[in-house]
Chain A
Amino acid sequence: MKLWDIFYKGIFEQNPIFRLALSLCPALAVTSTVMNALAMGLSVLFVITANNVVVSIFRKCVNPKVRVPVYITSIATIVTVVQLVLQAFLPVLYKELSIYLALIVVFAIILARAEVFAAKNGVIPSMFDGLGMGAGFAGAMVLIGAIRELFGAGTILGVSIFGAAYNPALIMILPPGGFILIGLMIASFNLMGEYQAKAKAKAAGRSEA
């Protein structure tokens, strides 16, 4: 039950993009299509989970003074593995994501989870934390990618949704559209959080009375 909570908090309550506002660079840069967003999301899911496990295993034998270089080395190693695998088996996708794959090394959310969670918790919880955060990140990426591709090109995964009569709003697949959309999504997530908190407070008040 507790593991489920650790996993679940990454999806909504502490969603990396919409609630923590971390790693916005990839959320802007590689979400112009669903496919790119999904590939980036899954890569990060893998890296964050693997890195959390590694950091958690070695958490007791790393001197706190050098912990950040150690985290970065670990992340860089895992990212290199992902890069080589994608290059070997999905060369087209590898080309599309290009520089942003290598940039996973410096994504804030990965370092943040290593620092905040994995360095203080056991291997299994750390793994679930990584899975939850990664899934939250990937879900957010796919959601942003789907909206941008739908309105910016009229397609989802390359399949036409609105038909040929639709006149796509190019701004959605250009950077300004990404900024506007992410801003609006963060706003609506905050709004949802507010309503939830209000409902919770109301329920608590009722049970006391």
Chain B
Amino acid sequence: MNAESKIELGTLTVSTSPHIRCEESISKIMWTVNAALAPAALFSVYQFGMGAFSNLILCIVAAVGAEYLILKWQGKPMVANDGSAFLTGLLLAMNIPSTLPWYMPFLGAVVAIGIAKHTMGGLGYNIFNPALVGRAFLLASWPIAMTTWPSMASKVDGMTSATPLGILKLQGYEKLVQVFGDQAVMYKSLFFGTRSGSMGETSAILLLLGGIFLIYKGYIKWQVPVFMIGTVGLMTFVFGGKAGLFTGDPILNMMSGGLILGAFFMATDMVTIPITTKGQIIFAVGAGLLTVLIRLLGGYPEGVCYAILLMNCVTPLIDRLVKPVKYGARR
């Protein structure tokens, strides 16, 4: 009887000692990821004010509450406080504009936990990233509210403006530079996050710091964000310019939209990404390509959400493709 069939029977063999004891647990990893996201989340509250704060609280409370009720109803072990539902709520809140009326983030979080996570069987069984499903649900339901962004330039309540990518799509590159003043100012405000957009996608530097912290802890592989963001930069440099090939602005495209948030915190979701490093690289490059396709040719200005969801679909296929071969066996 080989190891695989033993696992199926639920009889894992314990080898003779010594054993290496692993200190990691689901809840420790999840709370660390939450902590890595916290600076960017707090910054968004500072930037967008009460709307952002109430959205954060609403999403998290709704996600954890839904998790609690569903686990209780199904009679499963109570793990609602393991931080995974908290993370889903947090990520969802960072993916939406801060101006949404209260019921939208609430419903989005309930759909994310109830439909994307628990109809598949709960944590570890979901095919799609729950937070992204919640966002896709909201975008399909209320497209206008979901693409109306609070303006940061004026800091006046009720003012709205398009995101950098929205301006780029509808009015072109020159207009976008004009909005910011000049190119250097534009890069700077993209990097430090003083621009309009959804709550979590504004501050590139805080997201980068959080992401690097996770790489340092070993919870995510550096290959995923590097390859995903790199693919987007390369492809937009080659095909993004209006004047011809190799005239696009890769820095703008790499720093704007939800790309950094998506590449570091959502594409790397342990449940929905291939297992091997090779598979994860394929996943990241695919997600980057799809993002560029949607940004340049699609109807939406931003495509990170759908790109990651689409790659989630093919994760099992990638896993099969890059399955390591047993020593001595032929593929």
Q: Is the pairing of A and B real?
A: yes
Docked complex Cα distance between A180 and B128 (Å): 15
Q: Does B137 contact A (CB under 8 A)?
A: yes
Question: Does B115 contact A169, Cβ atoms closer than 8 Å?
Answer: no
Q: Which residue of A lies closest to B139 (CB)?
A: A171
Question: Does B140 contact A176, Cβ atoms closer than 8 Å?
Answer: yes
Question: Does B101 contact A171, Cβ atoms closer than 8 Å?
Answer: no
CB-defined contacts of B140 to chain A, threshold 8 Å: 170-171, 174, 176-177
Q: Does A87 contact B (CB under 8 A)?
A: no
Question: Does A170 contact B119, Cβ atoms closer than 8 Å?
Answer: no
Q: Does A183 contact B (CB under 8 A)?
A: yes
Stretch at the interface among B6-14, B80-88, B141-149, B202-210: B141-149
CB-defined contacts of A170 to chain B, threshold 8 Å: 140-143
CB-defined contacts of A167 to chain B, threshold 8 Å: 101, 142, 145
Question: Does B119 contact A183, Cβ atoms closer than 8 Å?
Answer: yes
Docked complex Cα distance between A176 and B309 (Å): 14
Kindly identify, within residues 104 to 120 of chain B, every residue whose CB is under 8 Å from any CB belonging to chain A: 107, 115, 119
Q: Which residue of B lies closest to A151 (CB)?
A: B141
CB-defined contacts of B137 to chain A, threshold 8 Å: 171, 176
Question: Does A169 contact B119, Cβ atoms closer than 8 Å?
Answer: no
CB-defined contacts of B142 to chain A, threshold 8 Å: 167, 169-170
Top 3 A-B residue pairs of the complex, sorted by shortest distance between their CB atoms: A169-B141, A171-B141, A171-B140
By a beta-carbon cutoff of 8 Å, the part of chain B in contact with chain A is 101, 107, 115, 119, 137, 140-143, 145
20 A-B residue pairs with CB within 8 Å: A167-B101, A167-B142, A167-B145, A169-B107, A169-B141, A169-B142, A170-B140, A170-B141, A170-B143, A171-B137, A171-B140, A171-B141, A172-B141, A174-B140, A176-B137, A176-B140, A177-B140, A180-B115, A183-B119, A187-B119
Given contacts A170-B141, A170-B143, list 6 more A-B pairs with CB under 8 A: A167-B145, A169-B141, A170-B140, A171-B141, A176-B137, A183-B119
